[in-house]
Amino acid sequence: MPECICIMKRTLSKLILLLPFALFVAVIVLNTLDFGGGSIRFIREAVLTVAVWLCFPIIFYQQWRDQQGNHNSLRQIFFLLIFTSLLAFAVARIDSAAFAGVDSIVALFWTLYSISVVLVLFGAFRHLIHIKRRPATARNFKWMLYLQLLFAFLQGTGTQYLKKSPLSWLGTEALLGVMTFILVVLFVTNSFRVSWIHYLNRRQKLACFWGGLLLLPFAWQLFSHFSQNNIVKTFSPFLGVFICYSFLFFAIYCTLALFSLIAHLPTAHLFDRKMKELESLYALSSTLSVEFDLNRLARQIVKLAAEVTESDCCWLELIDPQKQKLDLVAWQNLSDNEQAKRRAYSTYEHDIEELTQKQTIVENQVLRNKRLRTISRWKSNLGSVVVVPLRSTQQTIGYLYAGKEATFGFEHEDVELLNAFAAQAVIAVENTKLIESSMLKDRLEHELRLAHDAQMNLLPKEMPKLPGFTIEAVCKTANEVGGDYYDFIPLDRDNRLVVTVGDVSGKGAEAAFYMAEIKGMIGALARTLGEPAKVLKKANRIISKILESNHFITLIYGMIDGKRRCFTFCRAGHCPLLLAEPDRDEIRVIEPRGLGVGLDDGPIFDTKLVEEQIDLCPGQTLLLYTDGATEMRNPAGEEFGEKRLVETFASLKHLPAAQIRDGLLAAIDRFSDKSTVHDDLTFVLIQVIDKSALC
């Protein structure tokens, strides 16, 4: 049903548009029947009045497709009035005897053309009248149309019909005179609606002015033609009056619009100036959202500021706190020599003494201002200048300058505009710096993630399989990369496996670099020397030459001998080794002597290093760890400590190695309440499970 209703509405709307044309055809038929009969004449004029009234939607619903419909309306009015005036001049030259019959083809054509032009022109004028309309605008326009329609009908049908009306006591001439006066008042009232002139720029106003001077004689000539030589009246007196008064309205509107335009010409540049300011601010705002390069952004700010203030030169300087000076980052119309001189005079302390950090300086006579003597030294032809500080919420970040060679070249509006530009520039510069730092941070984080992945790839990807033993390990870095590491190096087929746990002093990328160095070195030495003491002594001599003086490495280097069922190791300044035994409640803390790798390059390290051997039995569990486990802090700043680690290990020693590892990590997480990790953390667990490995 709704679809059927919509189809019916569309069909009816098309039929309504055809109805006026049908009425015009009916009038032509009536003319062929009787042109002189009074009753037929009245009916014909009434039908034409209804037909014109039905054509009013053409006036009210004309569509202007682009957003600048006032330009389309002006062009349409200009060309239609001129063309119609020229056509009226041509028609007037035709012999009047040709219009003696009502069926004259020329009269019919001229009538149809004239009424069509009037309806289209009313639509164009209505569009101009309704720009920035008030509540009474539409009402006044409609009253004008309907009163004009009634007036034309009454005058066109003959005054004898007014004698029978209730207003006959006024007199027909007096009544028509009153209606004429009211109609002219409405013409003038609607003609004062010329707000569209305010939205024309200077070039458009000049074009309308010259066009108006050309158009005005044609408009009044049309009114004169239809008032004196109106051949439309030979077809229909009603249409003749309606068209005549329509062109009177068009002429009055064009006249008042031209006078109003003349009054606006002296201030036309102000509108252009405001539009230019808005466009510049919009362009700058648009640039903020898409431009993140500081140099390109600065050039755009300077370019727009110079254009909108019509300055001879403009430049932007930003404060560099590290260099303690103002950097010239963008400029407009500064020569290479002037740029070089400006940079030579640019010292932060000196400039700040001569400028003010909080207030805009407006100097229309530069040479008289002592505060601006630095500028006059390198820009001698500068007559007036405006200096606007670029001030964020915390500090001044730079200055925007605009200069002219003429003195007293800047007005209050220029200063306000530059202040607006400066406010936008501050936002732009701050945002750009934040984005640059954010991008740098993201890039560094990405690189650190790659480094972290690379470092994790250096660790064993799977736990070694050694008969009679279960080995588990974990490494967690405080940052993306760290200095902890562990490694497993199988030596031969005699079930010998090297286990190393190391910790480079410090954290971050430098510690990770040294970790990779020591890992590669230990891996190479382990396969050639084998024994823990020999490997660490050789590694210390080599690594001491690489490490910086403020770095060292702690290590536990041990070797599991499955055949001899023992664990031989050296401790190079590292955390002690913890041993859990099934028949003892206490955890053994084994801490042989040893000096950190890199603290001494030879004799002292060698004499301090002690190699120790532990016999292995089923049920024993060895725990190798780094100091990140004991130095983990809770929110109160208290360390986890070696005592808690030993107690936690003792409570978990009866569990498989993997569960011991997870239990230790969980205990540390509970203690620290998952606060920030302060150091790298590594665990290596060696658990004896084979009964054939009995002591």
DSSP string over 330-360? EEES--HHHHHHHHHH--HHHHHHHS-SSS-
Give the C-alpha separation, 537 to 572, whole Å.
Answer: 10
Taking all residues of the chain, what is their mean pLDDT, rounded to a whole number? 78
Q: State yes or no: pLDDT of 37 exceeds 60.
A: no
Tell me which long-range contacts 564-568 makes (C-beta under 8 A, separation of at least 24).
565/615, 565/616, 565/693, 565/694, 565/695, 566/613, 566/614, 566/615, 566/616, 567/613, 567/614, 567/616, 567/622, 567/686, 568/531, 568/532, 568/611, 568/612, 568/613, 568/614
Domain ranges of the chain: 67-270, 291-436, 462-693
Whether pLDDT at 683 is above 90: yes
393: CB partners within 8 A, 6+ apart:
none
Euclidean distance between CA atoms 273 and 291, whole angstroms: 26
Q: Which residues pair with 681 in a beta bridge?
A: 476
Q: So what's the pLDDT on residue 352?
A: 47
Q: Taking the complete model, does pTM exceed 0.95, yes or no? A: no
- Interval 77-102: pLDDT, tens: 889 889 888 888 887 776 555 444 43
Residue type, 337: N
Distance CA 610, CA 592 (A): 6
Asked whether the beta carbons of 664 and 649 are under 8 A apart, the reply is: yes
Number of helices (H), then strands (E), in the chain:
20, 15
Q: Which tokens go with 207?
A: 């074009």
Range name among 503-517, 557-571, 645-659 with the lowest pLDDT average? 503-517
3-state secondary structure 557-589: EEEEECCCCEEEEEEEECCCEEEECCCCCCCEE
pLDDT tens digits, one per residue of 180-189: 889 999 999 9
Q: Which tokens is 544 given?
A: 């001491």
Top-tier CATH class for 462-693: alpha beta
Give strand pairing partners of 683. Answer: 474, 625
One-letter amino acid at 419 equals N
What is the 3 state secondary structure string of 195-250? HHHHHCCHHHHHHHHHHHHHHHHHHHHHHHHHHHCCHHHHCCHHHHHHHHHHHHHH
Q: For residue 25, with 0-12 CB atoms within 10 Å meaning exposed, 13-18 middle and 19 or more buried, which class applies?
A: exposed
The tens digit of pLDDT for each residue in 553-603 reads 899 999 998 888 899 999 998 999 999 998 888 899 999 999 988 888 778
Neighbours of 50 (CB within 10 A): 15
- Per-residue pLDDT, 1: 45
Say whether pLDDT at 637 is over 60. Answer: yes
Mean pLDDT to the nearest integer, 41-54:
78
Which residues sit opposite 327 in a β-bridge?
318
First to last CA, the chain: 98
142: pLDDT strictly greater than 60: yes
Give percent helix, percent strand, percent coil of the chain, each to the nearest 5. 60, 15, 25
The crossing angle, in degrees rounded to 10, of helices 135-157 and 38-54 is 160
What pLDDT is recorded for position 567?
A: 93
* Per-residue pLDDT band at 169 (split at 50, 70, 90): very low
**Token output for 693:** 């490995």
Torsion of Cα atoms, 78 then 79 then 80 then 82, to 10°: 80
348 pLDDT exceeds 50? no
Query: Which pLDDT band holds residue 664 (cuts at 50, 70, 90)?
Result: very high
291-436 sits in which CATH class? alpha beta
Stretch (H or E) spanning 504: strand 496-504
Query: Between 51 and 352, whose confidence is greater?
Result: 51
Q: How many CB atoms lie within 10 A of CB 359?
A: 11
Which residues, other chains included, contact 683 with Cβ-Cβ below 8 Å and sequence gap of 6+? 472, 473, 474, 623, 624, 625, 629, 661, 664, 665
Mean pLDDT of the 144-150 span: 89
pLDDT digits (tens, 9 = 90+) for 445-496: 666 666 666 667 778 888 988 888 999 999 887 665 667 888 998 887 667 8
pLDDT tens, position by position, 381-423: 888 888 888 877 667 778 888 888 888 777 777 777 777 777 7
